[in-house]
Structure 1
Amino acid sequence: MKTSLPLAGLCLLLLSAMVQADERPNIIVIMLDDLGYSDLGCYGGEIQTPNIDSLAQDGLRFTSFYNCARCCPTRAAMLTGLYPHQVGLIRNGRSLTKNGVTIAEALGNAGYQTAMAGKWHLSQTNPIDNRQKQLDWLNHQADFGRPFAPLDTYPANRGFQHHFGPVWGVVNYFDPFSLVDGTKVVKDIPDDFYMTDAITDKAVEYIETMSQKDAPFFLYVAHTAPHWPLHAKPEDIAKYEKTYIEGWQKLRDQRYASMIEMKLIDPQSFPKPQLQGDGLDWQALDDEHRKHMAQLMAVHAGMIDCVDQGVGRILDTLKSAGRFDNTLILVMADNGASPERYLNPGFDRPDQTRDGRNIQYNGVFDPGSEETWGYIGSFWANAANTPFRYWKAQSFEGGTHTPLIAHWPSGLKTKPGTLTDQPGHVMDIMPTCLEIAAAEYPQTYDSHKITPLEGKSLSPILRGEKRAGHDQLFFEHEGGKAVIADGWKLVQPKQNGKWELYHLAQDRTETKNVAVDHPQLLQEMKKNWHSWFDRVKPAD
Structure 2
Amino acid sequence: MGDTAKRPNFLVIVADDLGFSDISPYGGEIKTPTLAKLAKEGIRMTNFHTASACSPTRSMLFSGTDNHIAGLGQMAEFMRSFGDYFKDKPGYEGYLNWRVAALSEILQDSGYHTIMSGKWHLGMTKELAPCSRGFDKSFSLLPGAGNHYNYEPQLDDGEFQAPCLNTNGFWMEGNEHLDRSTDLPKDFYSTRSFTDKMIGFLKDRTEDESQKPFFAYLPYTAPHWPLQAPREIAEKYAGMYDDGPDALTQKRLRRLKDLGLVDEDVEHASPVGVLGKSWEDMSPEDRKISARKMEVFAAMVELLDANIGRVIDHLESTGELDNTFVLFMSDNGAEGAALEALPLMGGARMMGDIITKYYNNSLDNIGERDSFVWYGARWACAATAPSRGFKGWVTEGGIRCPCVIRYPSFQANQGAITNSFTTVMDILPTILELAGVPHPGSQFRGREVVTPRGQSWVSHLDSGDLKNTSVHKEDVHIHGWELFGQRAIREGKWKAVWIAKPRGKEEWELFDIEADPSELNDLAESKQDVLCRLIQHWEQYYAETGMVQTPTFGSRGKM
- TM-score, normalised with respect to structure 2: 0.84
The 2-side partners of 1:511 and 1:63 are apart by: 19
Structure-2 residue corresponding to 1:531: 540
Kindly name which structure, 1 or 2, has the bigger radius of gyration based on alpha carbons: 1
Give the AA of the match of 2:101: V
Secondary structure of residue in 2 paired with 1:311: helix
Task: Give the aligned length.
Answer: 495
CA distance in 1, matches of 2:118, 2:237: 26
State the 1:44 CA deviation: 0.2
User: Which residue is 1:60 aligned to?
Assistant: 43
State the AA in 1 paired with 2:59: A
Alpha-carbon offset, residue 361 of structure 1: 7.9
Alignment of 1:385-396 (within 5 A): 385-396=384-395
Structure 1 residue 193 corresponds to structure 2 residue 188: yes
| Alpha-carbon spacing, 1:238–1:502, altered in 2? closer, same or farther (3 Å) | same
Which of 467, 475, 481 matches 2:487?
481
Report if aligned partners of 2:288, 2:363 keep a CA contact under 8 Å in 1: no
**Structure 1: which amino acid aligns with 2:121?**
H
1:6 corresponds to which residue?
Answer: none
Query: After the TM superposition, which of the residue ranges 248-257 and 455-464 deviates more from structure 2?
Result: 455-464
**Post-superposition shift, 1:408?**
1.0
1:110 Cα deviation (Å)? 1.0
SS in 2 for 1:97: coil
- 1:500 counterpart residue number: 509
Q: CA deviation at 1:364?
A: 6.0
Report what 2:457 is aligned to. Answer: 458
Match of 1:309 in 2: 306
Gaps of 5+ in 2: 77-93, 152-166, 550-559
Please name the residue that 2:445 is paired with. Answer: 446
**How far apart, CA to CA, are the structure 1 residues paired with 2:548 and 2:282?**
50
Offset of 1:363 from its aligned partner? 7.4
Partner of 2:128: 153
Q: Which of 144, 150, 155 is matched with 1:175 structurally?
A: 150
Counterpart-to-counterpart distance in 2, 1:33 and 1:164 = 17
C-alpha deviation, 1:493, in angstroms: 2.1
Residue 12 of structure 1 aligns with which residue? none
Q: Does 1:469 align with 2:472?
A: yes
Report the equivalent of 1:130.
Answer: none
Contact 1:351 1:358 in 2 (8 A): no
Deviation at 1:348, TM superposition (A): 9.7
Between the aligned partners of 1:435 and 1:348, the Cα distance in structure 2 is: 44
Q: How many Å separate the matches in 2 of 1:309 and 1:200?
A: 10
Q: Conserved in 2, the CA contact under 8 Å of 1:64 and 1:401?
A: yes
> Quick one: distance in 1 between partners of 2:206 and 2:427?
23
Tell me if structure 1 keeps the 8 A contact 2:234–2:299.
Answer: yes
Distance verdict in 2 for CA 1:320–1:221, change over 3 Å: same
> CA distance change for structure 1 residues 347 and 370 in 2, over 3 Å: closer, same or farther?
farther
Q: Could you tell me how far 1:30 is from its partner in structure 2?
A: 0.4
For residues 87-125 of structure 1, the C-alpha deviation after alignment (integer angstroms, 9 at most, x for no partner) is: 1101112111111011111111111110111000011xx
How far does residue 385 in structure 1 lie from its aligned partner after superposition? 0.9
Relative distance call for 1:472 and 1:351 in structure 2 (3 A) is closer
Asked whether 1:243 is paired with 2:240, we answer yes
Within 5 Å, give how 1:120-519 maps onto structure 2.
120-123=120-123, 149-175=124-150, 177=167, 178-187=170-179, 188=182, 189-210=184-205, 213-268=210-265, 270-277=266-273, 278-279=275-276, 281-342=278-339, 347=346, 358-360=357-359, 366-409=365-408, 411-442=409-440, 443-464=442-463, 465=465, 466-469=469-472, 471-494=477-500, 495-496=503-504, 497-519=506-528
- 1:136-184: CA deviations, max 9, x gaps? xxxxxxxxxxxxx332100110001111020000101111722211232
Amino acid across the alignment from 2:494:
W
Question: Which residue identity is paired with 1:481?
Answer: R
| 1:274 Cα deviation after fit | 2.4
Q: Compared with structure 1, are the counterparts of its residues 306 and 40 closer, same or farther at alpha carbon in structure 2 (3 Å cutoff)?
A: same
Paired with 1:65 and 1:361, the residues of 2 have a C-alpha distance of 38
- Sequence identity of aligned pairs in percent? 31
CA RMSD of superposed structures (Å):
2.4
- C-alpha distance 211-402 of structure 1, shift in aligned 2 (>3 A): farther
Q: Is the 8 A contact 2:421 2:470 kept in 1?
A: no
The aligned residue for residue 98 of structure 1 is 98
Are the structure 2 counterparts of residues 469 and 266 from structure 1 closer, same or farther at C-alpha, using a change threshold of 3 Å? same
The aligned counterpart of 2:59 is: 76
Contact 2:27/2:252, CA 8 A, preserved across alignment:
yes
Report the CA distance shift for 1:351/1:336 in structure 2 as closer, same or farther (over 3 A).
Answer: closer
The 3-state SS of whatever aligns with 2:420 is coil
Partner deviation per Cα, 1:445-476 (whole Å, 9 max, x = no partner): 22210101101001012203523515111111
Q: 2:457–2:471: 8 Å Cα contact kept in structure 1?
A: no
SS at structure 1 position matched to 2:237: coil
Deviation at 1:208, TM superposition (A): 2.0
Aligned partner of residue 192 in structure 2, secondary structure? helix
- Supply the AA of the counterpart residue of 1:427: M
Deviation at 1:365, TM superposition (A): 6.5
1:89 alignment partner in structure 2: 72
CA shift in 2, pair 1:323/1:456, >3 Å: same
> 1:22 is paired with a residue of what secondary structure?
helix
User: Is 2:497–2:509's contact at 8 Å kept on the other side of the alignment?
Assistant: yes
Structure 1: which amino acid aligns with 2:455? Answer: K
